[in-house]
Structures are given as structure tokens and as C-alpha cells.
């Protein structure tokens, strides 16, 4: 996961990150983590976490990212 986070930080540049996780997660300096505690994993929880992050975001647009995928810079710049 640390390697994936390294590539995520490179791809987003100075764009702020809001993460929602079951356990406290530190990604980088300009990242906010919302820890919701252990939950049953489900599609419902996935979409609930995305909604929580979108509501906490202070930007006009949001992009989603999974912790087990690599993303290019274009993924976060597309509007």
C-alpha cells in the first residue's frame, strides 16, 4: 500500500486528498483522513465512503481513487 500511496501523491501533485478509511491512515501532508472504524465491507459502504469524502471536499470537483490501483496525473485533471 505504501508504494501505491507514493504514486498517488505523485499523480495528484498539490491537490488535496480526503480519504475515508476503517483505520487511521496517513497519506501525506495535504491529506485529510476520516476514520469511520471497522465496518462490514460492502458496496453500500464503498459508496457511503465516497459520499463522505465528497461532502468533506472543499474543491469544485472530486475524483475517486482506490488504494490498490495506480492512477495517472490525467485522472485527477480531467473535468
The whole-angstrom separation of Cα 33 and Cα 10 is 18
The whole-angstrom separation of Cα 49 and Cα 21 is 8
The whole-angstrom separation of Cα 75 and Cα 44 is 24
The whole-angstrom separation of Cα 6 and Cα 29 is 12
Looking at residue 3, its pLDDT comes to 85
Looking at residue 52, its pLDDT comes to 97
pTM above 0.85, yes or no: no
pLDDT band for 78, please (50, 70, 90 cuts). Answer: confident
Amino acid at each position: 500500500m505504501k508504494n501505491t500511496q507514493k504514486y498517488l501523491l505523485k499523480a495528484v501533485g498539490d491537490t488535496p486528498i480526503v480519504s475515508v478509511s476503517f483505520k487511521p491512515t496517513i497519506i501525506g501532508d495535504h491529506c485529510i483522513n476520516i476514520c469511520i472504524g471497522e465496518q462490514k465491507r460492502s458496496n453500500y459502504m464503498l459508496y457511503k465512503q465516497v459520499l463522505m469524502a465528497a461532502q468533506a471536499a472543499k474543491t469544485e470537483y472530486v475524483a475517486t481513487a482506490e488504494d490498490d490501483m495506480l492512477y495517472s496525473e490525467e485522472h485527477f485533471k480531467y473535468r
